[in-house]
Amino acid sequence: MSQLGHWRITVERKICKGVKAEIGFADSPVSMVGTIVDVNSQRLVVSLTQDQGAGRSAATPKTNRLGGVRVVATANDALYRFTSTLLQSSDSLLYLSFPGEVQRVQRREDVRQPCLIDVEVKIPRGERVPSRRARATAVNISCGGLLIIFDGRLEVGDAVALSMELPDGGPLAEVAARVVRTEPYSHRGQELMRVALRLERLQPADRKRLTQFITKCQVKARATSL
């Protein structure tokens, strides 16, 4: 068997029917979430859930979104990230091309939950320069980190402190985080940034609140899809 054939078999064992998938579009800050219902060597079919987290309904995909997408699939052992092409959309089904390259990114216990949560970002400026506070929106979150949409500038490696109110989950105050990735993002003519943050030194009480919030969202999504 060729190395390519072996690789495809390995990928298909991980990215298979029943696996949860999160699909990100270049023109939208909020990802869509669904379950892989069919997979072969040419394509994946994802059935979108009716609940996209935090009580929001899934919008039927628009045809002008056909093209490149970012996918994170939640397998039993880890999360797998890859790029794909949206070939077709029909009602709540997305037809994606089979991935050309898959990257294992994190353990399942840090699975990301799509959300829309207001976040206050405290940006330190040094010992003699007062810190400043800015507003952002978290569009997904896990116990390991979060992705925010930010109208400002942050650099990879910057240390920040985050405060937010989890829906039905209580507050998280002054949680330490570090920027691990940034990318430009344009929305309705406004130039913004997507900023990936890694949570650092998360206190046990904060981890418990965050875990409970994510679990509630997942249970609600599963109940809605039945």
* Integer Cα distance of 166 and 172 in angstroms: 7
CB atoms under 10 Å from CB of 82, counted, come to 20
Residue 9: phi and psi, rounded to 5, are: -60, -45
Among 2-6, 42-46, 69-73, 215-219, the minimum mean pLDDT is found in 2-6
Average pLDDT over residues 122-132: 68
Q: How many CA atoms lie within 13 A of 79 on its CB side?
A: 17
User: Which carries the bigger pLDDT value, residue 118 or residue 218?
Assistant: 118
CB 99 within 8 A of CB 43: no
Query: What is the predicted pLDDT for the residue at 27?
Result: 72
CB 217 within 8 A of CB 190: no
This prediction has a pTM of: 0.57
- Whose CA is closest to 163, among 131, 130, 129? 131
Structure tokens at 100: 């050309």
Portions of the chain given CATH number 2.40.10.220: 113-215
CB 35 within 8 A of CB 22: no
Which overall architecture, per CATH, does domain 3-110 show? Roll (2.30)
Query: What's the CA angle centered on 54, arms 48 and 59, to 5 degrees?
Result: 35
Cα distance between the two ends of the chain: 40
Mean of all residue pLDDT scores within the chain? 79
Report the CATH superfamily, name and number, of domain 113-215: predicted glycosyltransferase like domains (2.40.10.220)
| Residues of the chain above pLDDT 70, percent | 77
Q: Which residues contact 43 (CB under 8 A, 6 or more apart)?
A: 87, 95, 96, 97, 98
